Amino acid sequence: MPVIMRPDDADGIAEREAEYNQLKLALHLAQTDRSRYVEEMEIEVSKMKCALILLLRTIDDLEKERTELIESISALDSKPNRSKDQRTCEDLANLAENKDWLDQQIALEKSKHVEYDAKAS
């Protein structure tokens, strides 16, 4: 049996076709927006990965530097170095005492020369 179209059915079909076309366009726009968003997010994730790699390298470099500094401090604070520093301090104290004694001897010799010069005149 053939389908007879009534005028109100034609309006309904036209409305459904218009709604279908609107939904089809909305779907296309949503898919376009989604693919653009996915692309932007992939770029951002890539940038973040690069930044993370740089941060990890910096952290690694700083940890190596920290280890070297700790080793240097340990070496400087070692018992042999402390003993050497103690001897150096003692040597400096002795040199200072010797300097003071030599300054006194020089002053004494100068006064003797002044005395001899006074007697010779």
pLDDT at site 10: 77
Q: Is residue 5 very low, low, confident or very high in pLDDT (cuts 50, 70, 90)?
A: low
pLDDT, tens digit, 9 for 90 and up, residues 11-66:
889 999 999 999 999 999 999 999 999 999 999 999 999 999 999 999 999 999 99
- Report the greatest alpha carbon distance in the chain: 160
How much is the pLDDT for 115?
87
Rounded to whole angstroms, the Cα distance separating 121 from 110 reads: 16
Q: What pTM value is reported for the model? A: 0.49
If you write DSSP's letter for every residue of 15-29 in order, what string do you get? HHHHHHHHHHHHHHH
